[in-house]
Amino acid sequence: MSTGTITPYRSGQRPGRDDFPHLLWAEWTKFRTVRGWVIAMAAAAVLTALAVVALAGVSNGSQNAGANPAVAIGPGGEAVTDNFYFVYQSLDGNSSITARVASLDTELANAGSPPPHIAVPWAKAGIIIKAGTRPGSAYAAVLATPAHGVRMQYGYTHDTAGLPGAVSAASPRWLRLTRSGDTITGYDSADGRHWAKIGTARLAGLPPTVQAGLFAASPPLLAPACPPGAICPPGSPPGQSFASNSTLVPYTTQATAAFDHVSLRGGWPGGAWRGGQIGFPTGIPLLCTPSPGHFCPKTPAGGFTKSGGTFTLAGSGDIAPYVTDVDPLGTVLKGSLVGLLAVIALGALFITTEYRRGLIRTTFAASPRRGRVLAAKAIVIGSVTFAAGLVGAAAALPIAENKLHSGGWAASVYPVWSLTSGHGLQIVVGTAALLAVAAILALSAGAVLRRSAGAIAAVVVLLIVPLILGAILPQTYADWVLRLTPAAAFGLQQGTPHYSQVTSVCQPINGCYPLAPWEGFAVLSVWAAAALGIAAFLLRRRDA
Amino acid sequence: MEATIEVSGLHKRFGPTLALDGMTFTVAPGQVTGFVGPNGAGKSTTMRVILGLDAPDDGSALIGGQRYQSLRHPLSHVGSLLDAAALQPSRSARNHLLWLAHSQGLGARRVDAVIEQAGLEQAARRKAGGYSLGMRQRLGIAAALLGDPPVLLFDEPFNGMDPEGIVWMRGFLRSLAGEGRAVLVSSHLMAELQDSADHLVVAGRGKVIADTTVAELIAAASGDRVSLRTTARQEAMEALARAGATVAATGRDTLTVSGLLAERIVAVLSGSGVPFSEVSAHRATLEEAYMELTRDVVEFRAVSGATAAGSSPRASSEEVAR
């Protein structure tokens, strides 16, 4: 049927110009039209929620930290540590207090005579304005520390840095707090003449008469316990001489600080200075074994002396948010591993089924720019997984918290987090983001390996095995595993927040990870980005 | 854009196997070009290279002068059916076409149009996993037509089709070419293309061994042979042999004679008093012509079949010896 003249055919279809939105559209259509995938994704969300709630239901909190007498309840109903030695007077209305910290030294309590010096980075000595002497009442303070310079702290969680450097006779620190209504402003100075503002605290509902003065506190030092049967000489600092992977124990420490140039301005009734311990000092006195003739005091001897214009305070404890050693919420959130396994499988299958069926050729014939196809797939599977994770985590969190409280965990120490702000938002968005990026990592592994089983196994090895290793390896190795592998992102599921200004036991088993939550997430994201890059490179290089 | 496919000097090696060894041909618009050759001749590899799926070691394949990879919405330039089984079994046929349409910025209306064109209206919402091979071929055709392209490539579209489907497919291919499109259809069975292809590219061992029209190929294969029907087969053979012809018995009363023109044969037989009832110039079938052409490559394959990795020579040595 050869004819002489042929009119070449012209396509009647005129597609739009920009093709990336079309790719996204196509990949979304691919995902939603396989009913099994949609069901599996919904199941991932539901199973995540169910597993978290089920774990919360069996969590026993009868020995929880809410029963600890050292835990006070802060202005917002939250658990706080509020233990320190206070030298104070009443203060009326708008006024100010100024003092110079001339020295600050720290030691292990009850460790012998003379007590050996030991570094306590977050020991505190400074001036404070406090709503009252009840532990947990509102306050604002400016203080010196041995290792973190001058700080202004208030409301238990707020911490702002002032002048850097340690206090010594050669470089004392001048501190000032001024009150104006509800507002307290903190200043510091190296010479008492040139002052710098550190920050401002608004303490809502501060009564007209408050207690103000000098304070000293020193938080417990975390060190390995002296193992049973071992000889730990009295006075030797905990640490190197002990087994390195034994349990960390909080040893009681004490700060001794000298203040001078104390001056008061404004509404000071002019009473005498009073000294007293606020709250209970925490920690375990070092190596004190009761024996005939040897008495172990329950608390270190806080106190003060005044000689001329110089006050010398000794105090133990801390003014800080209460950070628990256990993390029941973080533990039950591990129920999301069920959903994680499902989304890893879905992420891999989203491309490996195309290889298995030969469909990848249809895909690449329709869209020859393969890197963009991979990007579209990653965006689609990532978004769908994020949405599913968000729903699952948001549904599970309030129910799980409720069940934990029914199980005996104190609401003051393990609070119900808001889903729309702060720590609760971090948990919900973090869990969703963790699942989404894990799905993208699995997609990339699927594109590289072209096999479902291999890709799923590879991602499980990268993401879940380090979690197990982190729980069983000695701390040093566990920390590195959880810093370098994608499992670092599980820090997003930390149920109890950790604060840089509070030294606490940080182990994965307690829901604490060596990297900050979003840093850990960045590690996972870097892994996923690298895997996507390798996948895109191989897709372009290899025959389809 | 010119509706042509230009394949020139393609070379491709898969490990020890040389799949393409200088494959060169052109597919013109307005006709069906059959792409034939035994399995392993390089037909599918050539099609994958044309579609930018496999990268050639050397040479080029251009669609209307452009590389496939440079086409922005390629399905409106080239439609293809490589593997009818390449489907997600749990996705319905209509949804399969829908994602493909979306990737080109096309909508559901176009999908319904090609479903009708391929005759799949009744089954379109069923899962593709339950489709027969023939229905999958129709779905593949529908997918190829989505972008209404001027160039079409079909790899073994007759596979698995029932006789009715084969007749439909032949007519369909002809009508596509009749609209001015360039249509390239591969097959390892010549008979399927007998009544639908205008032009033939015969491939063997990774290169083109014939690039010709169907009529020319048959004429070349027919040679100068003459068919003869006679009741006295023995006498006829002896008489013609004496006259210098080569004679072969093809049946109880039929002979094929070569080396003598038909008039001379009539004269010889009449002179010797041998009765005969029918003398006709022999016309080879396309199948015979194809067998003749590919005999060498198939024989080579049969001998070296053990070393040709991954090949399954369907044309076995038995078929060739026959």
Domains contained in chain B, CATH given: 5-219 (3.40.50.300), 224-281 (3.30.70.100)
Instruction: State the pLDDT at residue A542.
Output: 93
Instruction: State the pLDDT at residue B245.
Output: 84
Helix, strand, coil: what percent of chain A each, to 5? 40, 25, 40
Window A:347-406, CB contacts with B under 8 Å: 353-354, 357-359, 361-369
Nearest to B29 among A6, A11, A19 (CB): A6
Q: Looking at CA atoms only, how far is residue A1 from chain B in angstroms?
A: 6
Nearest to A36 among B90, B146, B147 (CB): B90
**CB spacing of B95 vs A543 below 8 angstroms:** no
**CB spacing of B54 vs A544 below 8 angstroms:** yes
**CB spacing of B100 vs A7 below 8 angstroms:** no
pTM: 0.81
3-state SS, residue B119: coil
* Residue of chain B with shortest Cα separation from A356: B86
Q: What would the two tokens of residue A337 be?
A: 């591993």
Asked if residues A175 and A143 have their Cβ atoms less than 8 Å apart, the reply is yes
Collect all residues of chain B within an 8 Å Cβ-Cβ radius of residue A23: 103
Collect all residues of chain B within an 8 Å Cβ-Cβ radius of residue A376: none
Nearest to B147 among A7, A13, A544 (CB): A13
> Can you tell me the distance from the alpha carbon of B42 to that of B21, in angstroms, rounded to the nearest whole number?
9
3-state SS, residue A141: strand
Q: Cα Rg for chain B, rounded, in angstroms?
A: 24
Instruction: State the pLDDT at residue A300.
Output: 55
Going residue by residue through chain B (322 aa), what tens digit of pLDDT does each one get?
Answer: 577 999 999 999 999 999 999 999 999 999 999 999 888 899 999 999 999 999 999 999 999 999 999 988 899 999 999 999 999 999 999 999 999 999 999 999 999 999 999 999 999 999 999 999 999 999 999 999 999 999 999 999 998 888 888 889 999 999 999 999 999 999 887 778 877 899 999 999 999 999 988 878 877 777 677 888 888 888 888 888 888 888 888 888 888 888 788 888 888 888 888 888 888 877 777 777 787 777 766 644 444 444 444 444 343 333 333 3
Q: How far is CA A106 from CA A163, A219, A427, in A?
A: 20, 10, 37
Sole residue written with tokens 């995540």: A48
Phi, psi (deg, nearest 5) at residue B181: -85, 155
Instruction: State the pLDDT at residue A414.
Output: 86
What is the tens place of the pLDDT at every residue in A312-365?
Answer: 999 988 999 988 878 889 889 999 999 999 999 999 999 999 999 999 999 999
Instruction: State the pLDDT at residue B302.
Output: 47
ipTM above 0.85, yes or no: no
Kindly compute the dihedral angle of the four CA atoms of residues A463, A468, A473, A477, in this order, to the nearest 10 degrees.
Answer: 10
Q: Looking at residue B313, what DSSP letter applies? A: -
Going residue by residue through chain A (544 aa), what tens digit of pLDDT does each one get?
Answer: 444 456 667 777 765 566 899 999 999 999 999 999 999 999 999 999 999 999 998 888 776 666 666 688 888 888 899 999 999 999 888 999 999 999 999 887 655 555 567 788 999 999 999 999 999 999 999 999 999 999 999 999 999 999 999 998 889 999 999 999 999 999 999 999 999 999 999 998 899 999 999 999 998 887 666 544 444 544 444 444 444 445 666 777 889 999 999 998 887 777 789 999 898 765 555 444 444 444 444 445 678 899 888 999 999 889 999 888 788 898 899 999 999 999 999 999 999 999 999 999 999 999 999 999 999 999 999 999 999 999 999 999 999 999 999 888 888 888 888 888 888 999 999 999 999 999 999 999 999 999 999 999 999 999 999 988 988 888 788 889 999 999 999 999 888 888 888 877 777 777 788 898 999 999 999 999 999 999 999 999 999 8
> Can you tell me the distance from the alpha carbon of A334 to that of A48, in angstroms, rounded to the nearest whole number?
9
Dihedral sign for Cα atoms in the order A385, A391, A394, A396: negative
